[in-house]
Structure 1
Amino acid sequence: MADMKTFCGRTNPITGALDWAEESEEYDYHQEIARSCYADMLHDHDRNEKYYQGIRAAVARVMARGEKVFVLDIGTGTGLLSMMAIAAGADFCYAVEVFKPMAEAAQSIVEKNGFSDKIKIINKHSTDVTVGPDGDMQVKANVLITELFDTELIGEGALPSYEHAHQNLVQDGCEAVPHRATVYAQLVESELLWSWAQLQPVEVEGGRLVPPPAVGRCAGAHAVCDVQLSQVSPSSFTPLSPVCTMFSVDFSKPVSSAFQCHSTQFVAQSDGRAQVVLSWWDLHMDPGGTIVCTMAPSWTYSQPKRAPWRDHWMQSVYFLPTESRVTEGDQLSLTVCHDDYSLWYSLQPNSQQDTQAEAPPSRPCCTCQAHLVWTRSRFGELNDRRRTESYVRALHSVLRDDGVCLAVSDGSLLPVIAHMLGARKVFSLENSRMSKQVVEQILEANAMSRGVELLEVRPEQLTRNDLRGEQISVLMGEPYFSTSLLPWHSLFFWYCRTALSGLLRPDAAVLPGAASLHMLAVEFQDLWRIRAPCGNCEGFDVSPMDEMVQRSLDFRESREAEPHPLWEYPCRALTQSAAVMTFNFTQCVPQQPISSQGSLPFIRTGRCHGVALWMEYHLTDDITVSTGLIGPISEQGDCEWSRHRKQGVYFFRSPWQSPGDGRRQVSYSFTFQPSSGDIKMDFSITA
């Protein structure tokens, strides 16, 4: 019988067409491996060293009691912590890993290091593991090692896993590494961070666009906002509280996954608007708390440059359900609640504590739909005054008194702004019912429902009847689409413009009129670690993991760029930035491919880890909006990146050394395929 092929339909984010691609378990396997960030964890020397110290101490305590040491390692990953336990003197280790490719990698690594007789890899979820003569484990463990944590500490199901382990898999009074976790929080006022949660009023030509009341009252999305807080300057927020200890979890004792609340009282340090809670946690690897692995941002350190970098664990930003005024000296109470997977915060005066104890704060839930339609970075983009001013100036230059505008962007304020600037009629295509309803709320709040008509229809299906017989004089877009991951995915606007060409006046203006793809060769301060081979980690050979990741990368048809928010990941420019490809939106998408080749000389010394890529949109001949670099490159090569969009990063398989004398250069080749919307790219070093 012939093998059955499976085909999966996906909407192409650039062309908008439904593409059918052959799928297989093999493809999914390699995709999972290629996207894994185990290299980041293996390169985290601070994490590994603290775990090793804690494991040696725990094993020594059990041995000192005259007991054999049986270890349970939940979420073993590469098997590194299990090997540490055996090297520390443990008698046997049960290493549990639910993800099959990682369990296979762990088995290879354990065998390569000669530990296969003392480490058993169990490819199951820990809650399915059994103990007994015929079970997965022969005996219950007296040392519990785990790495089940995420940025929010408990988001990967740590509490239910610990709860089950203490009930079924470990002995009473077992040693645990880590021994304890402690969660910290700080209440702040921050215009920058609050702009990621609430739509702010927009000033347009003396008029004012106000957010809908329902959006202002909404508690927002419940999901945590995880960021590299070290890259959020302390000058961008005002602390209203000290750093507060919110709660601790002792992992050596039975753990509960039930709903809980914890409150901390403090005196307000300054006047301000209570808006945002910054949060992070520490792992105490031993009972005495002498071995600590902290997630605190670098600006809490006396020497910030000594703060360890990690991307698998970052810091958390929580937005309060509503902002409130506080005065220096106020007695306040900050409350954190959690279920088995997530945390949320609330603020009350001390006088309300008794009431709060009877009715704990409910988990935030979006009721306005805006927080379901717009991401946090999208909120920030819509609240960017300078960016809005660029669009206002550009619209001014193309609008006519009898102008009829058509907007093509998801959940955009452009149609509202065009109406405020005097457009006779404005139509807007919305890609989803929910997005349409959010914009309808904005129109209603600003009494503009008659001036702007929202159409839930695909561009190629739009007819003149939908436009009430009108011809479009201005086709506009930011462009922004919720389906875009990489910067050039917003070229979907170009395909929409092509589909709509028959509805445009011969002299219609298209805004933006063009876009350009830009590149820059860079040296990353830390981001390179997520793709760097590990080879040896704390004295253990983990090269089978490197080999598996490389095979997975080779399995893909071509190497690809990845989306990353570069404002969170500092890098140095080793070349000048350059526009490497231009797309003319005043014309339809061409039939033939567009190609571009060239080279950029290295002008600064450093290790070139890859290329940063972004789009710039030329609204008019003299007004450009960048989704990448937003300021000049410093003399040292430091870059300032837009916080609103992710940039593309193409990692080289191994770093290239830049002499910085201009004699070596990075050569590039780009090809845009109109039929698929793909941009193929290739790079090399030339003398």
Structure 2
Amino acid sequence: MKTFCGRANPTTGALDWVEESEEYDYHQEIARSCYADMLHDHDRNEKYFQGIRAAVSRVKARGEDVVVLDIGTGTGLLSMMAVTAGADFCYAVEVFKPMAEAARCIVEKNGFSDKIKIINKHSTDVTVGPDGDMQVKANVLITELFDTELIGEGALPSYEHAHQNLVQDACEAVPHRATVYAQLVESELLWSWAQLQPVEVGGARLAPPPALGRCAGAHSVCDVQLSQVPPGGFAPLGPLCTVFQVDFSRPVSSAFASSSARFAARASGRAQVVLSWWDLDMDPGGTIVCSMAPSWTYPQPQGAPWRDHWMQSVYFLPAEVEVTEGDELVLTGCHDDYSLWFNLQTQRLQDSSPSSPPSLSSRPSCSCLAHLVWNRPRFGELNDRRRTRSFVSALRSVLREDSVCLSVSDGSLLPVFAHMLGAKKVFALENSRMSKQVIEQVLEGNSLKGGVELLEVRAEQLSISDLGGEQVSVLMGEPYFSTSLLPWHSLFFWYCRTALAGLLRPGASILPRSASLHMVAVEFQDLWRIRAPCGTCEGFDVTPMDEMVQRSLDFRESREAEPHPLWEYPCRALTESCAVMTFDFTQCVPEQPISSQGSLPLTRVGRCHGVALWMEYQLTEDVTVSAGLTGPITEQGDCDWTRHRKQGVYFLRSPWDSSGDGRAAVSYSFTFEPSSGDIKMDFSVTSQ
């Protein structure tokens, strides 16, 4: 069945009515899922298998039949492990209907249909009894309900309900126990994701508004591949502490709880950030451990397991705290049913009175609005001094005493910079009232109120009267828009520029004056796993999962690039980088499509998994800002990516082994469709 859905177009800004199947969202969910990543996580699978075998053996040693409850079964892999280990029967619960269907196919294909029952429900809706979903309560509980924060997918309420209704009192749980670790650190890099820092503009200092400095920030966890933050990127102020332990074999509570770790500060510095990860003990003795620790905690970092479905967590303290080596510190971790947060108390050796503890029982929440307008990479971008210098330099080169400036970006400081640099008048279009209020706070906090007029109006609705009867001499943007997912979505600036053409003075400066789309063919160290076929996993045939994912990919109108922050996912360039399309912002959006074709020779040895794509913005003739590579590719092909923006990744249907002699090449074809703002792309590898 087809239906028409209204979708906001992030590039054109228009509301597009698209004819889609009622199963579109299902297919999108499957195509972008992390199931392949989990199935390729050999360390996870092996530890689960070992823990399941041990639990089944313990129950059998008691002379009992083994009845398993597998909550969040996914592909059914853990249920098949349980039956292989000797379980008599398994109830496998999966709430996502397409996955439940895939699990039925996989279980049947592997010959386990008589011992595994797939239940397509949320576990809290499962019933036990003669007419229920389960005939009897289980004595082995297997779950994979965890996310990077451990409890963010509702693990605690699910366990709480299971122990009350679905499992026996003496059940064995796999995993048996979870331990959450935390370490207090100082990190200029990480703290730049949480608070706006002062910046020098034209000899003057732009300070963050007081409300932002007092704000506890966003409550949501910052999940990150902490292995890619080098040890030099932070300074530990205390030891690695155990803050929580959860025994899953006993009744679990989802109520608020807190736990504190007391220690002496190991160094002086600014306590700003808590790094956190967790381990799973698959057995009561803790001999089978699946760890989420970052690679730099391992004696041999290259041997650390890689996974994307579970990463590490970064928590920001409500405010940075100056500590002195030897100070007695109390780090308190709190959790409710879905999230964790941390607070810090300090006590000087010479002072018997501890600092006043903040409220613990409620999650930190944003009171300044900035953390709701700017996500964490955006904070980092605004705090990037090098990037700011580029924009200030570009603005200096185009501003005149009589300049009338108009800024088109979301929550941008560019209009503030223009005012500080002496522009006659500065206007800024803001996409939301909240964003407008944040910039108003910046202006008021720096006694610049009235220097910038913020207009909560769309570009096509703006009139000359809104600008006080004056035409625009400098149209500027970063460009940054909160609705952008893929790099080229920022071409929304071009559509706004086109809508504003009638308000521009003849010869008006456009900043940036152009943008270019760049590409490079790459070999991923690990990211390829999220799209690699699974086939056989731990001895079980899971090809129905591959078939379902492929159907979902084919269901789309065309294959698409995906947004990924490539600084977290190391890759090697196998070709040189190349600008494949240029968009001239000094002109309006053309009516006809723009096309580009060509090829890049594979000049380095490696396995080509796909293509990385990003935008670069030419602010002026002399100043360019990259939203992708931050420097030249090394001779070995190593790439350094910006931490502020996501890049596009297009995975090849099949990887290509490059000999590096240049005889093989990645052919590309791009077409920019002005009517829709889409960039259609296709890649193939050919050899001579």
Which residue number in structure 2 is paired with residue 47 of structure 1? 44
Where structure 2 has 5 or more consecutive residues not aligned to the other structure, the ranges are none
What are the superposed Cα offsets for residues 97-120 of structure 1, whole Å, 9 maximum, x if unpaired?
000000000000000000000000
Residues 50-61 of structure 1 mapped to structure 2, 5 A cutoff: 50-61=47-58
**Aligned residues of 2:344 and 2:357 also touching (Cα < 8 A):** no
Counterpart amino acid of 1:584? Answer: D
Aligned partner of 1:243 among 234, 240, 257: 240
**Aligned residues of 1:424 and 1:451 also touching (Cα < 8 A):** no
Counterpart amino acid of 1:169? Answer: L
Which residue number in structure 1 is paired with residue 194 of structure 2? 197
Cα offset, 1:450, TM superposition:
1.8
Which residue number in structure 1 is paired with residue 643 of structure 2? 643
Instruction: Find the aligned partners of 2:158 and 2:547 in 1 and give their Cα distance.
Output: 30
Instruction: Find the aligned partners of 2:105 and 2:363 in 1 and give their Cα distance.
Output: 43
Cα offset, 1:30, TM superposition:
1.3
What are the superposed Cα offsets for residues 548-577 of structure 1, whole Å, 9 maximum, x if unpaired?
000110111100000000000000000000
Counterpart amino acid of 1:94? Answer: Y
Out of 22-31 and 122-131, give the one that drifted further.
22-31
TM, length-normalised to structure 2: 0.98
**Aligned residues of 2:652 and 2:684 also touching (Cα < 8 A):** no
Instruction: Find the aligned partners of 1:27 and 1:327 in 2 and give their Cα distance.
Output: 56
Which residue number in structure 1 is paired with residue 543 of structure 2? 543
Out of 43-52 and 632-641, give the one that drifted further.
632-641
What are the superposed Cα offsets for residues 586-619 of structure 1, whole Å, 9 maximum, x if unpaired?
0000010000011100110111000000000000
**Aligned residues of 1:573 and 1:639 also touching (Cα < 8 A):** yes
Instruction: Find the aligned partners of 2:47 and 2:338 in 1 and give their Cα distance.
Output: 25
CA RMSD of aligned residues (A): 1.1
TM, length-normalised to structure 1: 0.98
Pair 1:443–1:356, CA change in 2 (3 A): closer
Counterpart amino acid of 2:318? Answer: P
Cα offset, 1:23, TM superposition:
3.4
Which residue number in structure 2 is paired with residue 82 of structure 1? 79
**Aligned residues of 1:406 and 1:476 also touching (Cα < 8 A):** yes
Which residue number in structure 1 is paired with residue 217 of structure 2? 220
Cα offset, 1:25, TM superposition:
2.2
**Aligned residues of 1:409 and 1:480 also touching (Cα < 8 A):** yes
Cα offset, 1:352, TM superposition:
6.6
Cα offset, 1:361, TM superposition:
5.1
Pair 1:491–1:70, CA change in 2 (3 A): same
| Identity percentage of aligned residues | 82
What are the superposed Cα offsets for residues 278-298 of structure 1, whole Å, 9 maximum, x if unpaired?
000000000000000000000
Pair 1:375 & 2:375 matched: yes
Counterpart amino acid of 2:143? Answer: T
Aligned partner of 1:142 among 139, 142, 145: 139
Instruction: Find the aligned partners of 1:496 and 1:398 in 2 and give their Cα distance.
Output: 20
Which residue number in structure 1 is paired with residue 558 of structure 2? 558
Which residue number in structure 2 is paired with residue 387 of structure 1? 387
Instruction: Find the aligned partners of 1:247 and 1:465 in 2 and give their Cα distance.
Output: 60
Instruction: Find the aligned partners of 2:645 and 2:114 in 1 and give their Cα distance.
Output: 50
Aligned partner of 1:7 among 4, 18, 41: 4
Instruction: Find the aligned partners of 1:356 and 1:271 in 2 and give their Cα distance.
Output: 21
Cα offset, 1:365, TM superposition:
0.6
What are the superposed Cα offsets for residues 245-293 of structure 1, whole Å, 9 maximum, x if unpaired?
1110000000000100000101101000000000000000000000000
**Aligned residues of 1:180 and 1:249 also touching (Cα < 8 A):** yes
Residues 390-405 of structure 1 mapped to structure 2, 5 A cutoff: 390-405=390-405
Residues 368-447 of structure 1 mapped to structure 2, 5 A cutoff: 368-447=368-447
Instruction: Find the aligned partners of 1:652 and 1:37 in 2 and give their Cα distance.
Output: 18
Which residue number in structure 1 is paired with residue 476 of structure 2? 476
Pair 1:403–1:354, CA change in 2 (3 A): closer
Residues 572-587 of structure 1 mapped to structure 2, 5 A cutoff: 572-587=572-587
Instruction: Find the aligned partners of 2:173 and 2:578 in 1 and give their Cα distance.
Output: 53
SS at match of 2:271: strand
Pair 1:168 & 2:165 matched: yes
Instruction: Find the aligned partners of 1:408 and 1:607 in 2 and give their Cα distance.
Output: 41
Instruction: Find the aligned partners of 1:23 and 1:593 in 2 and give their Cα distance.
Output: 24
Counterpart amino acid of 1:61? Answer: R
Counterpart amino acid of 1:587? Answer: Q
Residues 311-322 of structure 1 mapped to structure 2, 5 A cutoff: 311-322=308-319
Instruction: Find the aligned partners of 1:657 and 1:24 in 2 and give their Cα distance.
Output: 37
Cα offset, 1:6, TM superposition:
2.8
SS at match of 1:607: strand
What are the superposed Cα offsets for residues 13-38 of structure 1, whole Å, 9 maximum, x if unpaired?
11111101123322222112111110
Which residue number in structure 1 is paired with residue 654 of structure 2? 654
SS at match of 2:465: coil
Counterpart amino acid of 2:295? Answer: S
Pair 1:32 & 2:1 matched: no
Cα offset, 1:356, TM superposition:
5.1
SS at match of 1:465: helix
What are the superposed Cα offsets for residues 63-83 of structure 1, whole Å, 9 maximum, x if unpaired?
111111000000000000000
Which residue number in structure 2 is paired with residue 616 of structure 1? 616
Which residue number in structure 2 is paired with residue 365 of structure 1? 365
Instruction: Find the aligned partners of 1:27 and 1:238 in 2 and give their Cα distance.
Output: 46
SS at match of 2:392: helix
Counterpart amino acid of 1:110? Answer: V
Counterpart amino acid of 2:544? Answer: P
Aligned partner of 2:327 among 326, 330, 333: 330
What are the superposed Cα offsets for residues 178-200 of structure 1, whole Å, 9 maximum, x if unpaired?
00000000000000000000000
**Aligned residues of 1:346 and 1:361 also touching (Cα < 8 A):** no
Pair 1:19–1:289, CA change in 2 (3 A): same
Instruction: Find the aligned partners of 2:427 and 2:298 in 1 and give their Cα distance.
Output: 53
Which residue number in structure 1 is paired with residue 69 of structure 2? 72
